Amino acid sequence: MKEYSTDILIAGGGPGGIFTSKALMANKITDFKVVCDEPDVVCRCNIPYGIGKKFLNDINDAVTSHHTFLPNFDEVGIVGRIERIDHKNKTAYGKLLKEDDEFTVSYDKLILATGGQASLPPIKGAINPDYDGSNPVGEVFYYRGESYDKAALRDNVVVVRSVADARRIDKICGTGLTVAVIGTGLVGIEIIDNLIIRGNKVVVVEILPHLVSFLDADMASHLEEVLKKDGAEIHLGQPCTEVGDGYIVVGDKKINADLVVIGAGVTSDTRLAKEIGCEIGKTGGVKVDKNWRTSVPDVFAIGDLIEIKDAVFESPVQFQLLPNVMMQGALIAKQFKGVELEGPLAVGSGMSHAGGLFWGFAGYSEEMAKARGLGVMAEKIELFTAEHASPYARKAWYKMVVAAEDKGTVKKGQIIGFQAITEGKHLGDLMPRWADIIGQKETVWDLPKHNWIHQPLVGNPPSNAYILTFFNLFSGKLSE
C-alpha cells in the first residue's frame, strides 16, 4: 500500500485534470496530486484520425506523455484509478495501474475531474448475455443509467471513448470490412470518414432525420452528400434496434455489419460524486456554483462531469467540450491564490472535418431553438472563402440564427447560433469568435462594433464579407 498526502487532490487525469494541474503549476501551487486513470494523456478529438491515417500516422500520435504536459509528473502524478472516497476523513482509495499495488491519498481540497464515459443506446444484443464479470478491462460505458465494464460488450461491438477502443478498431479494420457506425456526433462523423479512407464499407445509422444534431438539416445535407459520394450507406430517422453476429437491424431491415462502432454520446461519470454526496442536477451532471464548488464543502467539479448555465437560455446544460474545461481549470487555480474570477456562460461549439469539408457550429441551431419554444429568424448564404477569382477561393456555406422575439432572458435580435461549412478552409479562426458573440448575448446591432467584420474579402479569412451580408439581411428584417 502506497500512502500519499497533499493539499489538493485532483481525481481524474483527462483534459480536465491535466489542464487544472498545469494551471496550478503556473500559479506556483505545487502541493497537489493528480490521479490519472489512463497511462497517457489523450486528446479524444484526435482518436479517429489515427484510424484513418488521415492527419496522424498512427493512433499513438493522439497520445501524449504525462511528462510532456507536466515535467514534474513523477512528483505530482499517480497513474491509478480511485475506487472510493471517504470525504468525511478526506481520504481517497485506489489501485495503481502500472504496479500491482493499492494507494491512499489524504487531502484537504478535492477537485473532481472524472469526466464522462461513452453511452450505449438500448440496442438488443450489444451486451453479451453470458458475461459473468470476469476479466474486466477497467473501462466503463453507461447503459440505461448503469455503468458496465467494456468486457461485457459483444465481441463485434465497440463503444468509442478511449485510445484502447480506437486501437481495437484500427486492428480489425484493414480494408474490405463492412462497419456500422451508430451516431453522427463530432466523433462519429470523424470515424465514418476515416473508416472510408481505410477502404471499408461504412453503414451509417442516425436516429435523427439528418446527420449531426448540432447542425440544421439544410447545412447537414452538405455532409451527407459528400459521405454518400465517398460510398457511405446512410440510414436516417430510425434507430439501430439489434446487433448480432455479422448484422444489425434498423427498422425492418437486417443489414450486414462485421463490426459495430457506437458513438452515441457521453454520460457524466458521477460515481465518485454521488458517493461523497454531491448534488446531481436535472441534466444528470454535478451541480456547481459560479466558482465550480459542489454542494459538499471543499469539493470542486469541472468538465464533462458538471452541468453549467447556458449562455442563451441561462438554463442548466451539459457541454462536454474541451474549451470549457480548459477555462474552468485555469479559474479554479486562481481561486486557490485568492482571486475569484467568473467564467463566461457556456456556449456549445465545435468544429470537425469529413469528406473534404470543414464544418463547425456555435450556439443553437434553428431546429434546437424552435424545440425550446423560441421564435427565430434564420438565414443561410453561399459565398467563397476568398475573392472568387483567387486560386485560394473555396465554396462556403454560412448560417446565422437570431431570436425573433423577447422571451425569458433572450432579447429580440439576439444572435443565438452560427454554423459554417467550407471546402478546404479550416474554421479554427472563426468558430471561437462566434462563440464569444453568442456568449456575450450580442445582437445583430452589435455586429458593426467588431473591427473584423469590416475587413475586405480579398486576402483575408472567410470571417469577413459574409458578416455584413448577414447584418444587412437581419437588420432589415428587424426594422420591418
Q: How far apart are CA 380 and CA 219, in angstroms?
A: 9
3-class state of residue 424 by DSSP = coil
Q: How far apart are CA 408 and CA 141, in angstroms?
A: 37
The region that residue 459 occupies, defined by phi over 0 for left and psi between -120 and 50 for alpha, beta otherwise, is: left
* Backbone φ and ψ of 251, nearest 5°: 60, -125
3-class state of residue 171 by DSSP = helix
Binned average pLDDT, 10 residues per bin, the chain of 480 residues: 96 90 95 88 66 61 76 93 96 91 97 92 94 86 89 93 82 84 91 90 96 97 96 96 96 95 90 96 93 95 91 88 79 91 85 91 96 96 77 87 96 97 86 92 91 56 64 85
Q: How far is CA 252 from CA 2, 237, 242, 471, in A?
A: 56, 13, 11, 47
- Expressed in percent and rounded to 5, the helix, strand and coil fractions of the chain are 30, 30, 40
Q: How far apart are CA 328 and CA 294, in angstroms?
A: 14
Q: Please name every residue paired with 476 in a beta bridge, in sequence order, or none if there are none.
A: none
Q: Which residue, chain included where needed, has cell 505545487?
A: 30
Q: Could you count the other beta carbons within 10 Å of the beta carbon of residue 146?
A: 8
pLDDT value of residue 25? 95
Nearest to 262 by CA among 322, 177, 208, 204: 204
Q: What residue type is assigned to position 76 of the chain?
A: V
Q: What residue type is assigned to position 409 of the chain?
A: T
Q: How far apart are CA 342 and CA 291, in angstroms?
A: 7
What pTM does this model have?
0.90
Residues counted in the chain: 480
Q: Which residue, chain included where needed, has cell 430510425?
A: 238
Lookup: cell for 328: 474552468
pLDDT value of residue 468? 75
| Secondary structure in 3-state letters for 8-30 | EEEECCCHHHHHHHHHHHHCCCC
Rg, the chain, Cα only: 23
Non-local (6+) Cβ contacts of 204 within 8 A are: 180, 181, 184, 192, 211, 227, 232, 233, 234, 235
pLDDT value of residue 42? 64
Domains defined for the chain, CATH in brackets = 2-115+269-335 (3.50.50.60), 156-264 (3.50.50.60), 352-479 (3.30.390.30)
Nearest to 386 by CA among 453, 465, 471: 465
* Strands of 146-149's sheet in order across: 146-149, 140-143, 116-120, 266-268
The helix or strand, by DSSP H or E, that contains position 129, with its residue range, turns out to be none
| Secondary structure in 3-state letters for 322-378 | HHHHHHHHHHHHHHCCCCCCCCCCECCEEEEEECCEEEEEEECCHHHHHHCCCCEEE
